Amino acid sequence: MRGLSRASLAEVEERFNAVAGSADLGTLADELFAIADLFDREHGLRRSMSDVARPAAQKAQILQVLLEGKVGAAALETAVAAVSARWARAGDLADALERLGVVAAAAEAEAQGRLDDVEDELFRFGRIVASNPELHRTLADPAAPAQGKRELLGSLLGGRATPTTVRLVTQLAVHPRGRSLDGGLEEFGHLVSAQRQRLVAVVRSAVALSEEQKQRLATWLRTSYGHDVHLNVEVDPRVLGGFSVRIGDDLIDTTIAGRIEEVRRRLAG
């Protein structure tokens, strides 16, 4: 988001934080997703509600009339704060509401002591989708019926993943909002991790790491970056030996494959 929208997001987050504590967080997440989807679907409404020339009080009144009795108080107050703010572009309004829906879902998982499960499940599901082209095509197809996607995800994840993971993956598959499925899973994964102000490290290793190795690596990364780090470990025989760690744009590569590639680059140069 641009500067104006980032400032507005901070204001809306402040209101969200003030009202979310008294709400059922799972329901709040669903309602914020539904409002974001409404703005995506109704372009005229989105333009009207994000129009900086329209008085904030007027936009708030219109939205209250539209949503009264259809969503809970916390979702309504958050949405009213969002339409009362100023956004650099109309799409940022829906982006902000969806983002807060993810935060609400993550907060519910944290309260249940299952935030680690959600992080792991989002990562693993992303790898499953990436390795199954037919599944990827089905879930990423914008023309595929929404109910069919819900039923497919229910059969794949029902009883195997937390309700929070099912909620987030379903939102991405049914309402991609211009994102790739892979990109959406990564984006939501970072938002979930941020619930505890943690960084996410993707570790690729030729063999599975032991719990002791994971703990030592996490401790070293925490010391290096000054934040707790959640490890998503992927076993990949192509790395030959050693491991690589990617955190954002940073890459730490100790793999044999990485060293071979570096030698090739030097020889080519």
Between these two residues, 10 and 259, which has the higher pLDDT value?
10
Q: Are residues 77 and 119 in the same domain?
A: no
CA–chain centroid gap for 40, Å, is 18
Domain count, the chain: 3
pLDDT digits (tens, 9 = 90+) for 98-112: 999 999 999 999 889
Pick from 82, 111, 140: which residue ends a domain? 111
Q: Are residues 126 and 185 in the same domain?
A: yes
**Cβ neighbours for 4, distance < 8 A, ≥ 6 positions apart:** 86, 87, 88
With a cut of 80, say whether residue 167 has pLDDT above it. Answer: yes
> Strands 199-205 and 250-253, how do they pair?
unpaired
Domain housing 18: 3-111
With a cut of 70, say whether residue 256 has pLDDT above it. Answer: no
Angle at 65 between CA 61 and CA 69, to 5 degrees: 130
Q: Mean of the pLDDT values across residues 153-171?
A: 95
With a cut of 80, say whether residue 168 has pLDDT above it. Answer: yes
Type and span of the H or E element at 234: strand 229-235
Q: Are residues 153 and 63 in the same domain?
A: no
Q: Which of 97-106, 194-203, 204-213 has the lowest mean pLDDT?
A: 194-203
pLDDT of residue 224: 85
Q: Are residues 25 and 41 in the same domain?
A: yes
pLDDT digits (tens, 9 = 90+) for 210-251: 888 888 888 888 888 877 777 888 888 887 778 888 887 788
Q: Are residues 151 and 248 in the same domain?
A: no
Q: In 197-229, which positions are buried (b, 16+ CB within 10 angstroms) versus exposed (e)?
A: ebbbbbbbbbeebeeebeeebbeebeeeeeeeb
The CA distance from 26 to 56, in Å, is: 28
pLDDT of residue 233: 85
pLDDT of residue 81: 97
Q: Are residues 101 and 122 in the same domain?
A: no
DSSP state of 44: H
Between these two residues, 35 and 208, which has the higher pLDDT value?
35
Question: In angstroms, what CA-CA distances link 134 with 7, 33, 138, 139, 192?
Answer: 41, 27, 6, 9, 27
- In the chain, alpha helices (H): 3-20, 25-41, 43-49, 56-67, 73-84, 91-111, 115-130, 133-140, 146-157, 163-174, 181-194, 211-225, 256-268
pTM of the model: 0.75
With a cut of 60, say whether residue 129 has pLDDT above it. Answer: yes
Please provide the average confidence, as pLDDT, over all residues in the chain. Answer: 89
With a cut of 80, say whether residue 197 has pLDDT above it. Answer: no
